[in-house]
Structure 1
Amino acid sequence: MTGRHRRDEEPGAIGAADDSSALGHSTVLDPAERRAIVLSTLFRIAGTPVVALAGLISTGLVIRATGPATYGLVALVATIGLLLPFADLGIGAVVTSATSRSRNPGSDVYALEVIRRSYRVLSQVSLVVIGLAVVVMVFDGWGTLIGLTTGPQDRLVITVAVALFGLTIPAGLGLRILIGVDRTQLAVVVMVSNSLFALIVTAGMYLTGVQGIWYVVPPLAGALIGNLTGTVLALKVSGLGRAVFLRSTSRIPTRTLLEGSLWLFVVSLGIPFGLQAQRVVLSHLSTPVELSRYALMAQLYGLCWSVFSMAALTFWPIFVKRRGQAEQTVRLWIITTGAFGALAILAAAPMIVASPWLAQLLSGGTIDVSISLAASFAMLLVVQCFHLPSGMLLTKPTEARWQAGCLTAMAVVTTVASISVADEYGAAGVVAVTAVAVVLCQLIPDLTWIPRMVRRREPESPVISTGVPVASERA
């Protein structure tokens, strides 16, 4: 079997024609794509009660072990992966696209080299993250960075948590590979297992009498265990195996292997401003109780958001495979945008009604969530879901650059507005202004510019055989 890599050819080259015909010339999805969408959605829906139950039990245990005031700080540190999604430098997105374009990553030299280099770079990033955490610990700087402290043990515990997060960075590539090879349902299973692993660690700590800040560890430990499991599964399902960890013997230039990751990195820089940076604003400008309200409501919001975001990820490889079909891509984007928005509206009403009651139940009556806070999160869910398909569509380097511009504007508006309202309006205020920022800086530009951007796409460089057997690299 032979591998493939990209080479500049005339748009009418045979390789391009073959790829185009293989994809189908309409918005109709092929059987594998339909299966991936249906199974990933069903798995996510089936897994949501499991994640919810695990998360709710974990939350109840943590609140009882830490108290309502400390819970906000624990949730802030424990969700550092959401606060720093840019740690993978946009490389995870490139891996998804590379595997999506490949018919068989296990015998594709180009895809193999992209994944191999990605693991190498992200392993180095992991070491840098751990090193920086140790430096902050040495200078006792965590209290200054976070804005809150529970005592002298914070410096060690938070450093351990950040180190665990650093290790999850390269381990997370397994999920990207699964999504790229239309096995999103398996990625869902891995993500569900993260919650179960975290619950096991949390319950073990609670039963042994652990108290306080140490509860930042279970979610990150669960994510690491789950991501490592996902990596093993992804390498087996894709056919890549251990080849991704072996020294390369191919002659493919490595300089452009991660092309486009810079702008996707900039995009990921703005992601925390959709929900996570507000925790930091509240920790500095509001009260610990208000931060705890935000953290608890954000967890309830995450149950709904996870269903939509995982379903959207299934469309990433679908859009990648149709890059040469402008009109069909635009029609598919319009359909998915409308569908995601409509379903989010249906989910918003139950969220508003049920969240205050669930918050009382989970916290044992110690943390209250108002209707206004629940409504603000519901509004954010709707506008973010309307934007979701656009994020899956615009993954070419020039399009990622455009996304980066919109997201930067959203980040600036969100930060300034959140700082302005945090003191007076608390958690509900920062979420409401975030929703407005998403509409102004992302949703309106999406509807205005995306159709013309897609129609102006240049033809994709074809994928051709290199005659380099991957099997020889595994020997």
Structure 2
Amino acid sequence: MLSTRLLTTSFGVESFAVYAVVVSILASLPFADLGLGAGVVNATSDFHGGRIDRGALQTVLRTTVSALSIVSCVLIACAAGLFASGSWPSLLAIPSMGMGDSFAASFSLACVAASIPLGLGTRIYQGLQRTQTATALTFVGVGVQVATLGVVFLFHLPAWTYAIGPALALLLTNAFTMILALRAIGIATGQIFVPSRTIDLGQYGFSKSAIPYLITLLGVTLTLQMQRIFLSHASTPDEVASFSFAAQFSVAITSVVTLSSINLWPKFRDLQSAGALSQSTILRFVRMYTVVGVAFGAISATAAYCLAAFVTNGSVVVSLVTAATSGLSIFAWSVTRPAVMFLNSPSGFWLQAAWALPCAVTAVILTLTLGATMGAAGAFLASSIAVFTFTFAPLTIHSLRQIRRPR
């Protein structure tokens, strides 16, 4: 929010739009772990529940870190190549991007790359049913961003330097979280960051969970987190800025809803293993997250609509329709949480992957079409329609049917 104020008042709305699109690169982190994070959550949950020992968990972690380190190196090379070739302006559909903006984009992608294996710390906490700890550790990133922003502002650095803070915050937060998560499960850091001689993850491997989870995360990223880039192709910088301002609230609240629901993953897994999970349990959580979605959606929409003029000094306008549809997107995402957290078995992951593809395709097509006519509101509406149609309805129905019959 502070970055928004400084950028819009000092550099104008177009600089803020460029900043917002560059920072959206950080949203690529969730699917960059090849879906192996799902296996780590399940392995940690099984360790926490006494179904596997510490040695087995350590093997899963070491193998996963080795595989993801290779991905990190490839992405860092891609970041360097995109900067050297000057490809960022075409890729992000922002012809006005300068050399500094391109450097910020490559730096952001490099930080995402380096954060991939370190991001497993959050997955470990999820498996331990301690998501609140991982959430609290995000304040490390807030501190880094504030410190970086202070340096940029005091020394009157150019607009592109504002994007350095979020990228650096992501990297340092994941590193700190990983160190503490390993301590929580009693495994030394040096035992994990050692090259593994095998890529066999057994029941937590690629075909069991990683591939379908990767497809699902890619679908979610295209549906919800990359819309600024799609909107920049379909609409104007003013609409991108409007969307980005409203998204500061909707994305933050969606993250809170997601983190609060992740504890349901190991909880449902334990209840299912004990034969104690019923349809009424799922429906109870659906009702709860319906209320959460309505309440948080209303708060987000109100904040975006009322604060835009004040924070940006009138540079960015968030219409009532844009604010309302941003709240609708939170509601749509919230009601999916119980079913998504229940479907954590290999077959459940594949089912989510199957529905994630039409969800993503629909969201992208609708963002490009509705974004061209409705601007920012069209992008929010596109994701809401896609999530309701291809995630909430089919996954909730399947979850209730699956609980009714033996697994």
TM-score by length of 1: 0.80
The reply on whether 1:59 has 2:10 as its aligned counterpart is: no
User: For each residue in 1:393-437, what CA deviation from the matched residue of structure 2 results, as whole angstroms up to 9, or x when unmatched?
Assistant: 112111111101111111111111121121211010121122111
Alignment of 1:33-432 (within 5 A): 56-103=1-48, 108-148=54-94, 149-242=96-189, 243-246=191-194, 254=201, 257-258=204-205, 259-325=208-274, 328-432=277-381
Deviation at 1:221, TM superposition (A): 0.3
Specify the SS of the correspondent of 1:365: coil
Contact (CA 8 Å) 1:333, 1:389: kept in 2 or not? yes
Q: 1:448 to 1:363 in 2, by over 3 A?
A: same
Distance, in Å, in 1 between the alignment partners of 2:179 and 2:369 is 46
Contact kept, 8 Å, 1:75 with 1:295, in 2: the verdict is: yes
Q: 1:121-173: per-residue Cα shift (whole Å, max 9, x none)?
A: 11111111101111222221111110003223333332122111111111111
Q: Which amino acid aligns with 1:357?
A: C
Could you tell me whether the CA contact under 8 Å between 2:92 and 2:229 is conserved in 1?
yes
Gaps (5+ residues) in structure 2?
A: none
Q: Is the 8 A contact 1:326 1:454 kept in 2?
A: no
Q: Which residue of 1 aligns with 2:383?
A: 434
Q: Give the Cα–Cα distance (whole angstroms) in 1 for the partners of residues 199 and 29 of structure 2.
A: 32
One-letter amino acid matched to 2:214: F
Determine if contact 2:76/2:110 at 8 Å carries over to the other structure: yes
Distance 1:238 1:436, change over 3 A: same
Letter in 2 for 1:225: L
Q: Which runs of 5+ in 1 are unaligned?
A: 1-55, 459-475
Q: Is the 8 A contact 2:29 2:112 kept in 1?
A: no
**Shift in CA distance, 106/174, structure 1 to aligned 2, threshold 3 Å:** farther
Q: After superposition, what is the alpha-carbon deviation per residue over 1:435-465, rounded to whole angstroms, capped at 9, x for unaligned?
A: 111111111112322222345564xxxxxxx
Segment of structure 1 superposing worse, 255-264 or 411-420: 255-264
Residues 97 and 317 in structure 1, CA contact (< 8 A), matched pair in contact too: yes
Task: Tell me if structure 1 keeps the 8 A contact 2:21–2:228.
Answer: yes
Q: Distance in 1 between matches of 2:363 and 2:375?
A: 14
Counterpart-to-counterpart distance in 1, 2:201 and 2:119: 22
Whether the 8 Å contact between 1:96 and 1:177 is mirrored in structure 2 is: yes
Change (3 A) 1:437 1:106: closer
Secondary structure at 1:395 match in 2: coil
User: Residue type of the partner of 1:308?
Assistant: V
CA contact (8 A) 1:150 1:213 kept: no
Letter of the aligned partner of 2:123 in structure 1? Answer: R
The amino acid of 2:4's aligned partner reads T
Given that residues 111 and 167 in structure 2 are in contact (C-alpha distance below 8 angstroms), is that contact kept between their aligned partners in structure 1?
A: yes
Q: Residues 342 and 157 (structure 1 numbering): CA distance in 2 closer, same or farther, change over 3 Å?
A: closer
Aligned-partner SS, 1:328: coil
Q: What RMSD in Å do the two structures reach over aligned CA positions?
A: 2.2
The residue identity in structure 1 corresponding to 2:249 is L
Alpha-carbon distance, 1:84 to partner: 4.8
- Quote the offset at 1:102 in angstroms: 0.9
Amino acid at match of 2:35: G
On the 8 A contact 1:110/1:252 being kept in 2, the answer is no
Q: Secondary structure at the match of 1:102?
A: helix
Deviation at 1:270?
Answer: 0.5
Residues 98-139 of structure 1: per-residue CA shift (max 9 Å, x gap): 101113699522211111111111111111110111122222
Q: Return closer, same or farther for 1:409/1:140 CA change in 2, 3 Å cut-off.
A: same
Amino acid at match of 1:400: F
Contact 2:47 2:53 in 1 (8 A): no
CA distance in 2, matches of 1:354, 1:182: 31
Distance in 2 (alpha carbons) for counterparts of 1:71 and 1:247: 42
Instruction: State how far apart, in whole Å, the 1-side matches of 2:256 and 2:100 are.
Output: 36
2:177 partner letter: G
Shift in alpha-carbon separation, 1:124–1:66, aligned structure 2, 3 A: farther
**Counterparts of 1:131 and 1:332, CA distance in 2:** 47
Q: Tell me the CA shift for residue 275 of structure 1.
A: 2.0
Q: Distance in 2 between matches of 1:356 and 1:452?
A: 41
TM-score, length-scaled by structure 2? 0.92
- Rounded Cα–Cα distance in structure 2 between residues aligned with 1:198 and 1:295: 18
User: Which deviates further from its counterpart, 184-193 or 350-359?
Assistant: 350-359
